Amino acid sequence: MNRSAPRSIDQYLRQLREQLAGADAALIQDALYDSEEYLRAEVAAHPEKSESDVLELIASTYGAPDEVAGAYLDTEVKVKAAMATPRKVPKSKLGAFFGVFLDPRAYTSLFFMLLCLATGIIYFVFAVAGLAMSAGFAVLIIGVPFFLLFVAIGRVVSLAEGRLIEAMTGVRMPRRPVYQGNGSGFWARIGEMLRDRRTWTTIAYFILMLPIGILYFVIALVGLSVSLAFIALPIAVLFSQAGWFGMSGVEVFSNVQPAWLLDSGLAIPILGLAGALLLTSLMHLARGIGRLHALFAKTMLVARVSTGAAETEVSGEALAAR
- Does position 72 interact with other proteins (CB under 8 A)? The reply is yes
When binding is defined by CB under 8 A, the residue of 13, 25, 55, 68 that contacts other proteins is: 68
Q: What is the dihedral of CA 48, 51, 53, 55, to 10 degrees?
A: 130
Is the Cβ of residue 63 or residue 191 nearer to other proteins in the bound state?
63
The secondary structure element, H or E, covering residue 135 is: helix 104-137
- Does position 126 interact with other proteins (CB under 8 A)? The reply is no
Q: How many CB atoms lie within 10 A of CB 165?
A: 21
Q: Residue 297's closest CA among 21, 112, 118, 84?
A: 112
CA distances from 194 to 22, 33, 152, 187 (A): 26, 21, 11, 11
Q: How many CB atoms lie within 10 A of CB 194?
A: 12
Asked if 87 contacts 38 with a C-beta cutoff of 8 angstroms, the reply is no
Pick the stretch among 74-82, 137-145, 198-206, 278-286 that binds other proteins (CB under 8 A): 74-82
Is the Cβ of residue 67 or residue 263 nearer to other proteins in the bound state?
67
Q: Which residues contact 14 (CB under 8 A, 6 or more apart)?
A: 6, 309, 312, 313, 316
Is the Cβ of residue 68 or residue 301 nearer to other proteins in the bound state?
68
Is the Cβ of residue 180 or residue 240 nearer to other proteins in the bound state?
180
Residues 36-65: x where in contact with other proteins by CB under 8 A, - otherwise, as a string: xxxxxxxxx---------------xxxx--
Q: Angle at Cα 150 formed by Cα 146 and Cα 154, nearest 5°?
A: 170
- Does position 78 interact with other proteins (CB under 8 A)? The reply is yes
C-alpha to C-alpha distance for 125 and 238, rounded to whole angstroms: 48
Q: How far is the CB of 315 from other proteins (least distance, A)?
A: 14
Residues 157-196: x where in contact with other proteins by CB under 8 A, - otherwise, as a string: ------------------xx--x--x--------------
- Does position 2 interact with other proteins (CB under 8 A)? The reply is no
Q: Which long-range contacts (CB under 8 A, 24 or more apart) does 43-46 make?
A: 43/9
When binding is defined by CB under 8 A, the residue of 30, 51, 161, 311 that contacts other proteins is: 30
Question: Could you tell me how many residues make up the chain?
Answer: 322
Q: How far is the CB of 10 from other proteins (least distance, A)?
A: 13
- Does position 202 interact with other proteins (CB under 8 A)? The reply is no
**Binding-site ranges for other proteins (CB under 8 A):** 30-31, 33-44, 60-63, 67-68, 71-72, 74-76, 78-79, 82-83, 175-176, 179, 182
